[in-house]
Amino acid sequence: MHDVRELIELGPEAVRRLARRDHSLDLDALEASSRRRTAAKERVSRLRAELKTAARVSTRAGAPDEEERAAARTLRDRVQEAEAEARTASAELTGRLRTVPNLPLDHVPEGRSEKEAVEVRRSGVPVGTGRSGVPHHADIGERLGIFNGARATRLSGARFHVGCGAGARLERALGDFLLDLHTEHHGYTEYAVPFLVNRETMTGTGQLPKFEEDLFATRVGDRELFLIPTAEVPLTNLVAGETLTDADLPLAFTARTPCFRSEAGSYGRDTRGLLRLHQFEKVELVRVCAPADAPAQFQLMTGHVEECLRQLGLSYRVVLLPAGDMGFSARMTHDVEVWLPGSGAFREISSVSDCGTFQGRRAGIRHRGADGRKGPAATLNGSALPIGRTVAALLEQGWRSDGSVVLPEALVPYTGFRTILPGGRTA
């Protein structure tokens, strides 16, 4: 969320920068809401002062008479009315601000889709470019006997997944490998977090109110909870409402959780396989730091994602997303795209986002600098990695013409096998 004073001070510049994201900022309405809140707060302060003065005068004069008591009751009622007006004005302004996305950094490219992303670098020669006929990972999994799409559909409908045998073992092994890499080599602390969170927690990271249609919600009695779309939500909010010093920062959190997404608006895209499921598992990274340190932390986190892919021997590239294709809370995003020879294309496997102080202000995560001044802390997040999409890349890049799949050496200590053969046998 933004500081309204900063948006108003930026004025037309804020309007211009948000237009790059296809957001039309109504600056006049925002200023009007801000003035109403300020006026309401000033009225509360004035009436409270009058009430305090009247109480002092009454105390000095002895016991108040009926007329004085009636005047005091009237003044107290006016204070309560003013407080209610101030709450309404504050809620109106907060509601407006919560729908405004983060301001993109100036060097973020123009554009509204992945087509305008700017390639930063790539690693490895895309497997399969010199040979044709690499199957789609869904076909590879079914032929190996490690996926069962029919049973998944019978259990839950479209866009769910059942892995079995060596496939289930591969998914478990991959999660363990990634968590060990991040905790033992990249300095992250692993957390076990709730998969159900409240509305305030979802709001703190920017999923609400804008993306409510993408979320799965449950209600028991008067208790409302949301299934997390990513571990970014509980991990970032671990320090919601806290004040952190330079000695505390940076914080580095990781967790492996299921993620639940309705994928509203994406129907017809990636309906086969593991790329766009309603439920999937993911290892997430979150960093919290001083605002000035965010650019360095952004590059560090991107490097951590890339190291996962390098150790798995997967070909990939890094792109800088255009302003109109970034997530709501991001001011800059690297997409890391893995090569999928079955589709003949690079596809996103991780988004690493620098959110600046946007989430820190929403969630009340504060930073106190060496000079004692307080302000919102900066937050960053990235996938490292989603289990399903990584399995898809391993199957397609590791596929051999005899129908087998060869896995990277780094996974052998976790799987106990290097090759998956037709029929789900391993070697």
Active-site residue set: 261, 276, 348, 351, 389
Amino acid at 218: T
Contacts of 92 (CB under 8 A, 6+ apart): 33, 36, 37
Distance CA(395)–CA(420), nearest Å, equals 9
Separation CA 395–CA 298 (nearest Å): 30
3 state DSSP class of 405: strand
Helices (H), 242-312: 294-311
Name the H helices within 61-185: 66-97, 137-144, 149-156, 166-184
CA pair distance 126, 141, nearest whole angstrom: 21
255 and 235 in contact (C-beta within 8 Å)? yes
Is residue 89 within 8 A of residue 36, CB to CB? The reply is yes
Local structure of 337: helix, strand or coil? strand
d(C-alpha 200, C-alpha 219), whole Å:
15
Q: What is the spatial distance between Cα 227 and Cα 427, in angstroms, rounded to a whole number?
A: 38
Task: Show the tokens assigned to 357.
Answer: 């102080």
Cα separation of 397 and 407, whole Å? 9
Q: What is the token pair recorded at 371?
A: 């000079």
> If 0-12 CB within 10 Å is exposed, 13-18 middle and 19+ buried, where does residue 419 land?
middle
CA distance 197 to 233: 8
**Using CA atoms, how far apart are residues 248 and 67, in angstroms rounded to an integer?**
58
How far is C-alpha 33 from the chain's CA centre? 28
Spatial distance between the Cα atoms of 56 and 73, rounded to a whole number of angstroms: 15
| Residues 6+ away with beta carbon under 8 Å from 276 | 159, 263, 266, 269, 270
